Amino acid sequence: GTPSGYRILNETDLRDYLAGIAAVAAQLGGPADRWSITEVGDGNLNLVFIVKGTSGGLAVKQALPYVRLVGESWPLPLSRAHFEHLALTHQGRLAPGLVPAIIHHDPALALTAMELLEPHIIMRKGLVAGAIYPAFVDHITTFMARTLFFSSDLALSAAAKKEAIASFAGNHALCKITEDLIFTDPYRSAEQNRWTSPWLDATAADIRADLDLHVAVSRLKLQFLSRAEALIHGDLHTGSIMVTETETKVIDPEFAFYGPMGFDVGAVLANLLMAYFASVGHERSPGEREAFESWVLSTVDQVWSGFAGKFLELWRSESTGDAYPLSLFPGEAGAARLEAERQAYMARLFQDAVGFTAAKIIRRILGLAHNIDFELIADERRRASCEARALRLARTLMVETASFTTIEAVTRAARELR
Ligand code: ADP
Ligand code: MG
Ligand code: MG
Ligand code: MG
């Protein structure tokens, strides 16, 4: 059952509730009956209200006791609002300015009021329209490098790390969604799977019979289950990023827990690669989106290289954790050996990211939750041909991960499929 004090708020309930909270009423300004309140949630899980007063606005997110996309038949714990609030608090401290500020949180109502992001739009919508975001790479690489590094054993004491893992361990129902919908269902017959039929019927059947792929995805799932490397966002796709030309804000960390870092990096890479493969499906004349497409692929290159560079720099300058004690690496020889080990660590992390990139692509084309990059290609045959190219890259990335040792090898393979 749901905790006492919880009720699903409609616009009228929300107005009365917000009017009773001084910090919120001050932020909005003017009499409560003049506030405009609109529910805008376009996500799969929760309610989101945009509230505007005479002096300012807010976004108010409330968790529902079930999956919004599916309905009451699929219950989901309200505690995800607690974990989202906890993650947002950590991210705001570790990556200042890159997440919305929190204005109010009510655990009983599973509700958070936060900074209204305006005129920001969901990045995925911009990418579908062919928009270029020149500041994105710098912002997202800072977000990932800082949130992942500072929550890892490279920065935390062993005791602090274990306490931190424990504080997110209760978010297992959200992890289970990922375990099922990303790492399992697309590879077997599952009622909720769908794909662009009939064009992808044969490809979907091949993937359900591809044991090399099933081994590869099972290894990735085991990593996701067992490797508590850092506090990951857990749902870092381009629908969880709001942008303007100059600003980037990461939202919606309700899937956060201590998991493998490569999962977040792979989420960003996968969603950019899907924007690339979908792009030809959105062009009105041949070659119309060439500049966009080359920007997307160079962004993929720079997301990895920028992230790796910033992460390594943090490791060299802020290594306060219990991993790799400096006393074991004395003198010049020790320093050189430790630097070589940092490079080896990044090479391993890159391999993880490549595998998770593939998993994130496959689930969006064969699983339950699809994305508008492909879905808005109205001509289904054309959509399927974009999706088939993305699937071909993903299958290769997942099964032949070791042959991709640089990000340029990944973008080259993508370009060759276009
Ligand atoms: P869900 O968990 O259901 O996916 P999200 O947190 O992704 O919910 O929010 C759903 C939508 O609400 C977003 O796609 C965005 O359009 C809008 N939204 C969320 N947070 C804000 C915000 N702080 N400012 C403006 N719009 C927001
Ligand atoms: Mg969302
Ligand atoms: Mg959304
Ligand atoms: Mg969400």
Q: Residue 319: which pLDDT band, with cuts at 50, 70 and 90?
A: very high
Residue 1: per-residue pLDDT? 54
Query: 247 CA distance to ligand 2 centroid (A)?
Result: 18
Per this entry, what is the length of the chain? 418
Compute the average pLDDT of residues 321-336.
97
Tell me, using a 6 A CB cutoff, whether residue 61 lines ligand 1.
yes
How do strand 102-106 and strand 71-75 relate by DSSP bridges?
unpaired
Tell me, using a 6 A CB cutoff, whether residue 254 lines ligand 1.
yes
CATH of 121-417, one of 3.30.379.10, 3.40.630.10, 3.90.1150.10, 3.90.1200.10: 3.90.1200.10
Render pLDDT for 372-395 as a digit per residue (tens, 0 to 9): 999 999 999 999 999 999 999 999
Handedness of CA 256, 260, 261, 266 (dihedral sign): negative
Residue at token pair 């370009």: 415
How do strand 57-63 and strand 66-67 relate by DSSP bridges?
unpaired
Identical fold between 11-115 and 121-417: no
Tell me, using a 6 A CB cutoff, whether residue 43 lines ligand 1.
yes
Residue 43: per-residue pLDDT? 74
Q: 176 exposed, middle or buried (CB, 10 Å; 0-12, 13-18, 19+)?
A: exposed
Residue 4: per-residue pLDDT? 80
Residue 364: per-residue pLDDT? 98
Compute the average pLDDT of residues 196-213.
98
Tell me, using a 6 A CB cutoff, whether residue 385 lines ligand 1.
no
Q: Residue 146: which pLDDT band, with cuts at 50, 70 and 90?
A: very high
Tell me, using a 6 A CB cutoff, whether residue 59 lines ligand 1.
yes
Q: Using the predicted structure, report yes or no on whether residue 266 has a pLDDT greater than 60.
A: yes
| Residues 235, 253: Cα–Cα separation, whole Å | 7
Tell me, using a 6 A CB cutoff, whether residue 42 lines ligand 1.
yes
Mutate to test the pocket of ligand 1, among 38, 48, 181, 240 (most ligand atoms within 8 A of CB): 48
Tell me, using a 6 A CB cutoff, whether residue 41 lines ligand 1.
yes
Domain 11-115: state its class.
alpha beta
Mutate to test the pocket of ligand 1, among 251, 254, 368 (most ligand atoms within 8 A of CB): 251
Render pLDDT for 221-260 as a digit per residue (tens, 0 to 9): 999 999 999 999 999 999 999 999 999 999 999 999 999 9
Nearest protein Cα to ligand 1, atom 21: 59
Tell me, using a 6 A CB cutoff, whether residue 45 lines ligand 1.
yes
Q: Can you give the three-state secondary structure of the chain, one letter per residue? A: CCCCCCCCCCHHHHHHHHHCCHHHHHHHCCCHHHCEEEECCCCCCEEEEEEECCCCEEEEEEECCEECCCEEEEECCCCHHHHHHHHHHHHHHHCCCCCCCEEEEECCCCEEEEECCCCCEEHHHHHHCCCCCCCHHHHHHHHHHHHHHHCCCCCCCHHHHHHHHHHHCCCHHHHHHHHHHCCCHHHCCCCCCCCCCCCCHHHHHHHHHCHHHHHHHHHHHHHHHHCCCEEECCCCCCCCEEECCCCEEECCCCCCEEECHHHHHHHHHHHHHHHHHHHHHHCCCCCCCHHHHHHHHHHHHHHHHHHHHHHHHHHHHCCCCCCCCHHHCCHHHHHHHHHHHHHHHHHHHHHHHHHHHHHHHHHHHHCCCCCHHHHCCCCHHHHHHHHHHHHHHHHHHHHCHHHCCCHHHHHHHHHHHC
Residue 70: per-residue pLDDT? 85
- Domain definitions of the chain by residue range: 11-115, 121-417
Rounded to two decimals, the pTM is: 0.98
Compute the average pLDDT of residues 168-182.
98
Tell me, using a 6 A CB cutoff, whether residue 48 lines ligand 1.
yes
Q: Which atom in ligand 1 lies closest to the alpha carbon of residue 121?
A: 16
Tell me, using a 6 A CB cutoff, whether residue 212 lines ligand 1.
no
Residue 3: per-residue pLDDT? 67
Q: How does the average pLDDT of the chain come out, rounded? A: 97
Q: Which atom in ligand 1 lies closest to the alpha carbon of residue 254?
A: 2
Nearest to 202 by CA among 32, 384, 10, 417: 384
Cβ atoms of 378 and 272 closer than 8 Å: no
| Residues 246, 134: Cα–Cα separation, whole Å | 8
ipTM of predicted complex: 0.97
Q: Which ligand is nearest to the CA of 256?
A: 4
How many Cβ atoms from other residues are within 10 Å of residue 23's Cβ? 11
Q: Residue 141: which pLDDT band, with cuts at 50, 70 and 90?
A: very high
Q: Using the predicted structure, report yes or no on whether residue 273 has a pLDDT greater than 80.
A: yes
Render pLDDT for 34-78 as a digit per residue (tens, 0 to 9): 999 999 988 788 999 999 999 999 999 999 999 888 889 999 999
Residue 191: per-residue pLDDT? 95
Residue at token pair 């609109």: 38
Query: 43 CA distance to ligand 2 centroid (A)?
Result: 5
Question: What are the backbone dihedrals phi and psi of residue 52, each rounded to the nearest 5 degrees, phi first?
Answer: -130, 130
Q: Using the predicted structure, report yes or no on whether residue 140 has a pLDDT greater than 90.
A: yes
Q: Under 8 Å CB-to-CB from 245, ≥6 apart: which residues? A: 133, 134, 135
Q: Which residue has the higher pLDDT, 418 or 319?
A: 319
